[in-house]
Amino acid sequence: MFPHISGSWLIILIACVIGFVIGQWIKARRNRAEKNNDYVNGLKKRLLAEKSVPTKKAKKKARRANRKNGGSQ
């Protein structure tokens, strides 16, 4: 069942190491892509928040600021 030649064990060991390295590389790529997607989604949310209708609190602040500045002229 197990190989008795040391060359065979060497080939198996190298194959395992290569498989492990490839797995780590794929995992790192996936994590980097997810972080990038989170960053892009955050930017999208921020842009949408700037363009969206102001909240009730923001409207109230704007009215107070207009009153302090003498209203609309």
Buried b (16+ CB within 10 A) or exposed e, 24-49: eeeeeeeeeeeeeeeeeeeeeeeeee
* Cα 6 to Cα 8: distance, rounded to the nearest angstrom: 5
Per-domain residue ranges of the chain: 31-65
Predicted confidence pLDDT, tens digits, the chain (73 residues): 677 888 888 999 999 999 999 999 999 998 888 888 888 888 888 888 777 666 778 888 888 888 887 765 4
* Cα 4 to Cα 9: distance, rounded to the nearest angstrom: 8
pLDDT at 1: 65
pLDDT at 72: 55
Question: Are 12 and 3 contacting, i.e. CB atoms less than 8 angstroms apart?
Answer: yes
Give me 47's structure tokens: 């842009």
Reported pTM:
0.48
